[in-house]
Amino acid sequence: MNIMKQTQKKRVVTKIALIILVIEFLVMILLSYFPYELSLFAEASLDVILLTSFSTPLIYFFVIQGFIASRDEAIAEMSELAHTDHLTKLANRRMLVSHLDSFLAHSARHQICGALIQIDLDGFKAVNDTYGHDIGDLVLIDVGKRMKQATRAEDFISRIGGDEFIILIPQVEGATPMTDKKIMLIADKILVRLKEPMLIKDNSIHISASIGIRMLRGTQANIDSLMKDVDSAMYRAKQAGKGQAVIY
C-alpha cells in the first residue's frame, strides 16, 4: 500500500513538473518575440503571470480533477459498502432501518398504510451442509433476485443477515381488510416463487420459506418493536408448519 502511494505521489509530482516545464518553455519563447524592451522585474512579473495563467487550468484538468474523481468514487464505494449486503447486493439492516424510519415519519403524517415482510428460508442449513457454503451463497443470491421479481419496483428489499430478508412495502391502498389481503397476496407470490427449483452448478435445489408480516397502519411506531413483531410472526409461521405466511 505504501509503495502504491509513493508511486502515485511520484506520478503526480512528475505531471506537475512536466506541465510547468512545458508552459515555462513556451512562455520564454513567447517573451522572446515580445516587441517592447522590458525591465528585469517587468519581464519576471509577466513570466509569472503567464506561467500561472496557462499552467493552473492544465494542472487542474490533468492532475486535480483526477483526484476529485477518485475521491468521489471512493466515497460512493464506501457509502455503498456501508449500506449494501456484500453478497446479494441488496440493502443491509442499516439501510433498512434508515428507510423504515423515513417511511414511518411519512406514514404518520399522511396516514399511509404499509407493511414489513420478513422471510426466513426453511432448510437453508441443510443446503450448506449438503452442497457447501459456496452453493449456499449462490442460493441466497438467487433468492434475492426472485424476491425482486415477485415484488414491485418501489418495494424495498434487504438482507438483514444469514438467510433472513425483510421487505418494506411502502404503500398499500384500501381499507384495513383489503390491505391485509393485498399483502398476503404479495407474500403468497414470494412463497410460490421461492418454491420453484433452483438449478445451481448442476444441482437442483429445493427450498421454501416462512414469512412473518407486520402491518404498518399510518401511526408512529418504534422500529425495534416493529422488528420484534415481524420476527415473532415469522416464527409463528415456522411453528405452524413452515412454507407459509402469518400476519402479526
Cell of 211: 414469512
Q: Distances in Å between the alpha carbon of 179 and those of 158, 191, 200, 209? A: 22, 18, 36, 22
Q: What is the pLDDT of residues 27-45, one digit of tens each?
A: 888 888 777 777 888 888 8
106 sits in which H/E element: helix 93-110
Q: How far apart are the C-alpha atoms of 232 and 14, rounded to whole Å?
A: 63
Domain 93-247 has CATH 2.60.40.10: no
For every one of its 248 residues, what pLDDT tens digit does the chain have, with 9 covering 90 and above? 567 667 777 888 888 888 888 888 888 888 887 777 778 888 888 888 888 888 888 888 888 887 777 777 766 666 666 678 989 999 999 999 999 999 998 888 888 889 999 999 998 999 999 999 999 999 999 999 999 999 989 999 999 999 999 999 988 776 666 788 889 999 999 999 999 999 999 899 999 999 999 999 877 778 999 999 999 999 999 999 889 999 99
Q: How far apart are the C-alpha atoms of 8 and 206, rounded to whole Å?
A: 51
Segments making up each domain of the chain, as ranges = 2-83, 93-247
Q: Are the C-beta atoms of residues 118 and 233 closer than 8 Å to each other?
A: yes
What is the pLDDT at residue 155?
A: 94
What is the pLDDT at residue 185?
A: 92
Q: How far apart are the C-alpha atoms of 73 and 66, rounded to whole Å?
A: 10
The model scores a pTM over 0.85: no
